[in-house]
Structure 1
Amino acid sequence: MVVRVYIVRHGETQENLDGVIQGQRDTALNANGEGQAWMVGEALKDANIGVAFSSDLSRAVKTAEAILLHHPGIRLHKRVELRERGLGELEGLHVGAKLDHTPAGMEPITSMSARAGAWWREAVMPWIKVQWDAAELGHEKSQARRDVLIVSHAGLIGVLLQALCKGTVGVEKGVRLTKCLNASITVIEIETASGKGKITRFSDVSHLTGPVVEENADVDSTPQNV
């Protein structure tokens, strides 16, 4: 049996559009971002989502809530571990800003990767085991909503995939891991028996119409080639 993990990047914010570094600032979706969130919801309305997580920052929460409108009864778990990288004194500056010193308060990539990986092991892997156990016992009802929704940020998604690709997750032939776009969908398919998986879609925005922001602070804050 396969569990699909749908990883969604939040919709566009005005800061994305203006090239302002957000990091862990609690910024809101702009009008275009709200529309993108609605389109992601439409794209995932037939997914068998059984559990949903998002960063606790508003731009991720609002995107997740738009998706869950199609999945009544599924509670959204807001997790600080799914926040974007903390960028310290860079937050609020333009993406092109240059400092004459090392930015204070910036979260090390190693720390960000550690929190992302630890969260995955503590939240997602136990869910997958529950689905396997249910399948072994023949509980068909408990398998009906077995897939996972995660809504987060480009930097966090990038380091999470990096960590997973060093372990039990591979990349399907033809899938290229580059930039994670606003309101994009990434899919990991995980076999419940082995816990091994593969990325079958990355940063898919085929469900969107209208402008899509491709260059912004979130995308550029961490390496995306994983």
Structure 2
Amino acid sequence: MEFKLFLARHGETDHNKGSVIQGQLDIPLSKNGMNQAKLLAKSIHHLQWNEIWTSDLKRSWQTANFLVSDEINHQDDGDNDALLMSKPLSAIQSDIRIRERHYGICQGQSTANLKKMAGEAGVKISNFVPPEAESSEDVRKRAISFFKDLCDRQILLRMDDKESKILVVGHGGWLSEFMTYLALPQTGRSSFTPSELEAVSRITPNTAVSSFEIQLQSDGGVSLIKCLALHDKSHLTSPVCSDELAV
């Protein structure tokens, strides 16, 4: 069987805009992040989801709320926006394995301070693990665990479905580790092009979407992963900054 997997990053937060490290701090969407989610909702409203997954952090499920709400055409409906920001809709399932990387003592601090700490430790920032923080490998293990359970569930529940579509709304660092894993040869028979392999681990902009076709064997093993789109932000009407770090 096969299914299509859509991966979206949450909308912008004030911490994103201010280059403050969020990690697993429970920061809500900003007004701009809400508008980004509304624009994405309009571009994908025709899709019917079999499953919708988010982390349990506000910025993730709040984004998903806007994506699956029937009220996709509202622009300035404050009451409806407040409702969508207050609690997850019933269609949404959350999993703590989708959470952003925990940045330990650096959470709530500036990215400039993180770079300074990495420099003082003589470590590249991409390899630096602050005290009390998760490593990139820890995050990838969480992503792999979630993906394997997701594949097993498709075999159990949707063997006869022809057009199964799953939406996962996550975080920049988590998505980077997850998509890097999807591109690994040992994950499945990959059909990624050289340019896709080069781009897959980049930090995706807020509300950008990547999509993949996943083909499964009857035992839940992956037989083929095909990349359909990477970091698509064509729905956004103004330029967005791609983070150097997912924080």
Query: Are the structure 2 counterparts of residues 216 and 35 from structure 1 closer, same or farther at C-alpha, using a change threshold of 3 Å?
Result: farther
Aligned to 1:64: 64
Q: 1:151-170 residue pairs with structure 2 within 5 A?
A: 151-166=169-184, 167-168=187-188, 170=190
Comparing 50-59 and 173-182, the one that deviates more: 173-182
Do the aligned residues in 2 keep the contact of 1:57 with 1:83 (CA within 8 Å)?
Answer: yes
Aligned partner (choices 105, 129, 135) of residue 132 of structure 2: 105
RMSD over aligned Cα, in angstroms?
A: 2.3
Structure 1 unaligned blocks of 5 or more? 136-142, 222-226
Do the aligned residues in 1 keep the contact of 2:103 with 2:134 (CA within 8 Å)?
Answer: yes
Structure 2 Cα separation of the partners of residues 74 and 203 of structure 1: 27
SS at match of 1:60: helix
Q: TM-score, normalised by structure 1?
A: 0.83
SS at match of 2:111: coil
The aligned amino acid for 1:203 is H
Aligned partner (choices 126, 135, 138) of residue 152 of structure 2: 126
Aligned partner (choices 169, 182, 204) of residue 206 of structure 2: 182
CA drift at 1:125 = 0.1
Structure 2 unaligned blocks of 5 or more? 72-88, 122-128
How many matched pairs?
209
**1:82 aligned to 2:121?**
no
Q: Deviations over 1:164-189 (max 9, x none)?
A: 22211635435332331110000011
The aligned amino acid for 2:233 is V
Structure 2 Cα separation of the partners of residues 80 and 209 of structure 1: 31
CA drift at 1:195 = 4.2
Q: Return structure 1 stretches of 4+ with deviation > 4 angstroms.
A: 192-195
Do the aligned residues in 2 keep the contact of 1:52 with 1:77 (CA within 8 Å)?
Answer: yes
Q: TM-score, normalised by structure 2?
A: 0.77
Do the aligned residues in 1 keep the contact of 2:203 with 2:244 (CA within 8 Å)?
Answer: no
SS at match of 2:3: strand
Aligned to 1:11: 11
Do the aligned residues in 2 keep the contact of 1:50 with 1:74 (CA within 8 Å)?
Answer: no
Identity across matched positions, percent: 24
Query: Are the structure 2 counterparts of residues 65 and 168 from structure 1 closer, same or farther at C-alpha, using a change threshold of 3 Å?
Result: same
CA drift at 1:110 = 1.7
CA drift at 1:213 = 2.6
**1:48 aligned to 2:48?**
yes
Structure 2 Cα separation of the partners of residues 131 and 198 of structure 1: 22
